[in-house]
Amino acid sequence: MATTQTTDKPRGAEVIKQALAHVPLNPGVYLMKDARGRVIYVGKAKHLKNRLTSYTRPPAGPTWYANKVATMVKQVAAVDFVITASEKEALLLENTLIKKHRPRYNADLRDDKSYPYFRLNLEHDFPRLSLVRRPKLSDGAQYYGPFGSAGAARQTMYLLQRIFPLRRCSDHTIRNRARPCLDYETGRCPAPCAEKISKQDYAGLVKQMQAFFAGQGEELAKRLHEEMDQAAQAERFEEAALLRDRWQALSRTLERQRVSAPQEEDLDAVALHHSEEGVRLAQVRVRGGQVVGSRVHDLSRAAQEPGETMSQALLALYEVAVPPPLVLVSQMPADPSLVAEVLGEKAGRKVELRLPQRGEKRKLMDMAQLNAAQPRHEGPGPAAALARLGDRLGLERPPETMECLDISHLGGSLTVAGLSAMQGGAADKNAYRRYKVMGGEGGGDDYAAMAHVLARRLGGDDPPPDLLIVDGGKGQLAMAVQALAAAAPEHPPALASIAKGRAPGEPDRIYLPLRKNPVNLKAGDPALLLVMRLRDEAHRFAISYHRLLRKKALTRSILEEVPGIGPKKRSRLLKSFGSLAAVKKAGPEELQDRGGLDQTTAQRLASFLAALDTAHGPK
């Protein structure tokens, strides 16, 4: 990746102009970064130099996205670019980099919550249908959804269990069960664990469920009715009764979801709506001629033309779900042939993008545009909560990145710290960190440990967040202020602390430097709830580290957790003392004499192992 930066640290269009001297005319991807080194926009171009040059010209007119582009360009402090062999490679790389960096000004289809999907694990002999929040693209399973409501998903799950009685138990349970459970007695599972059904018959149930999700519900209902009649004529009345119950449940489900749609096609309608408030995107899904669901995404942060927004949105929409053969769009993407080709490779067949002009498909697009024009009233999303938090804390702008540090110890010993992180109001697991605090570094003293860990965090290579929160009251916040002054990073973060309410039922309190009283936030305030969620994650992360260390304490691997003890020293210690228990009993001087450790490492090891003997639980 080529990077272009300047020594006098210019901003905006001037940075882009200086970068043009090194940018070729090849196809590729460009990344714009702000002064903190964060990627704020990723774009692709057939000719990189021509595309970047367009950002240095004044906008042709005062459109909504032109104003967003101007705002974005003012923040640019560096430009990176990656040359690709073709425009298609650039499109795929752009999609990959957007998923990796989640730039502020790209079309982002993430919501303030994760939507549920149905997951069908096809790798098991007896596949299981389950409800998940985060699909995994490489696990070999099929996913159906998403559902806009978890309650609706659970209700659908209940109905599907009556129509297609697949097992609900885990893989571990089915391996260790020999007798049928209550689901078998109530007709919701054919009990493959007790060999009450063959693999072939179970596979038939799975194929029927796949046909239902593929929009073939009407055809499936007819087949069930025919099988019911055949079983009744053959006097297999018990089997006929089961088929009757499944047919009736499926028929009632189909009646609930019948909505007029063009013929019996599988298609999606994707519409963009522009207003003074920003941009929203709606997706209406039609399977087998039935409207089976819709979703709306807020894209108000996107700083790009509608065609580019549609391109990125289509690739993101079908990241997990398989695109249907026909996708209706309110306007064509910037490069429709490339997008259609990529979606076709994803689906394993041709995918057509079409602008509907008249007829039933036009009516379906009108429905999608109506959904996109209607704001969602599901409470404030992460952007609104961040904006309110920045306003209440007196920040210049909403904190795009936040971190929270929690100190935890076992009865005053084995002090560790957990650092949780958020980007754009969502958990950023890649930025989570954990720290060990040895005896001489503040172990057992919350304030000293806080100062030590903050010095390590602020003195590291990772750029500081926009907002750094410590778990505790004014004392912990004072230590954070001192640590920040000592580290003196180039871009110091804003500081705050969060403490529990003084009495049950009282809201948690957020303190700021140089302010005596806490910030006035009510219990249900979205800004407070966001900080509490970040704090709870830091606490959970620290406690899980404790459990890991306690588990490792039972084996030789605990020595790996002590800085300065590598494989050779670990082997020498165990060989000299004979066992881990003997190493624990040894004092610092004995560790130096028999173990061959230097004084500092011996003292650190003795303090660390002594902390493992406490019987108290995590604090």
Q: Are strands 352-354 and 494-499 parallel, antiparallel or unpaired?
A: unpaired
Choose the most confident range, by mean pLDDT, from 108-117, 229-238, 312-321: 312-321
Provide the residue ranges of all domains of the chain, joining segments of one domain with +. Answer: 2-101, 109-214, 215-258, 267-373, 384-536, 553-611
CA-closest candidate to residue 321, choices 297, 300, 347: 347
For tokens 């209607």, the residue is: 374
**120 touches 127 (CB < 8 A):** yes
Which one has a higher pLDDT value, 461 or 316? 316
Using alpha carbons only, how large is the chain's radius of gyration in Å? 30
DSSP SS3 for 81: strand
**510, pLDDT greater than 50:** yes
Continuous segment of H or E residues that includes residue 39: strand 39-45
Predicted confidence (pLDDT) at residue 258 exceeds the cutoff of 50: no
The tens digit of pLDDT for each residue in 176-195 reads 887 888 888 877 788 888 88
CATH number listed for the domain at residues 267-373: 3.30.420.10
Q: Are strands 494-499 and 509-511 parallel, antiparallel or unpaired?
A: antiparallel
Taking the C-alpha atoms of residue 592 and residue 590, their distance in angstroms, rounded to an integer, is: 5
| pTM of structure | 0.50
Architecture of domain 553-611: Orthogonal Bundle (1.10)
What is the predicted pLDDT for the residue at 305?
82
Q: Pick the range with the lowest mean pLDDT from 21-25, 374-378, 507-511, 589-593.
A: 374-378
Query: Is pLDDT above 50 for 616?
Result: no
501-521 mean pLDDT: 85
Q: Helix, strand, coil shares of the chain as percentages rounded to 5?
A: 45, 20, 35
Q: How far is CA 417 from CA 390, 404, 428, 461, 483, in A?
A: 26, 10, 17, 18, 16
Q: Give 616 or 502, the one with higher predicted confidence.
A: 502
Residue 614's pLDDT is what? 43
Least confident of 122-131, 365-374, 413-422, 608-617: 608-617
> Which architecture characterizes domain 2-101 according to CATH?
3-Layer(aba) Sandwich (3.40)
pLDDT band at residue 568 under the 50/70/90 scheme: confident
Predicted local confidence at residue 60, as pLDDT: 64
If one compares 117 and 474, the residue with the highest pLDDT of the two is 474
CATH 3.40.50.300 corresponds to the domain 384-536: no
Distance CA 98, CA 106 (A): 7
End-to-end CA gap in the chain: 46
Confidence of residue 467 (pLDDT cuts 50, 70, 90): very high
Contact of 318 with 310, CB cutoff 8 Å: no
Quote the CA–CA distance of 180 and 174 in Å, as a whole number. Answer: 10
pLDDT in tens, 48-91: 999 999 998 887 655 666 777 888 888 899 998 888 888 888 88
CB distance 409 to 415 below 8 Å? yes
Verify cis geometry, omega within 30 degrees of 0, for the bond prior to 59: no
Residue 465: pLDDT above 50?
A: yes
In angstroms, what CA-CA distances link 246 with 154, 198, 219? 18, 19, 14
Cα angle at 219 between 215 and 221, to 5 degrees?
Answer: 105
Same fold, 267-373 and 553-611: no
User: Cβ(29)–Cβ(93) under 8 Å?
Assistant: yes
- Residue, of 337 and 209, whose pLDDT is higher: 337
pLDDT at 329 over 90: yes
Regarding predicted confidence, which is higher, 456 or 112? 456
Cβ atoms 546, 410 nearer than 8 A: yes
pLDDT, mean over the chain: 79
Predicted local distance difference test score (pLDDT) of residue 534: 92
- Stated as kind and residue range, the H or E segment containing 434 is strand 433-437
Is 616 exposed, middle or buried, given 0-12, 13-18 or 19+ CB atoms closer than 10 A?
exposed
Q: Which residues pair with 367 in a beta bridge?
A: none
Give the per-residue pLDDT at 600. 80
In percent, the amount of the chain with pLDDT more than 70 equals: 80
Query: Helix, strand, or coil here: 74?
Result: helix
Instruction: Provide mean pLDDT across the span 216-231.
Output: 73
Higher pLDDT among residues 26 and 409, named by residue: 26
Give me the mean pLDDT over the 520-544 stretch: 87
**Does residue 309 contact residue 285 with C-beta atoms inside 8 Å?**
no
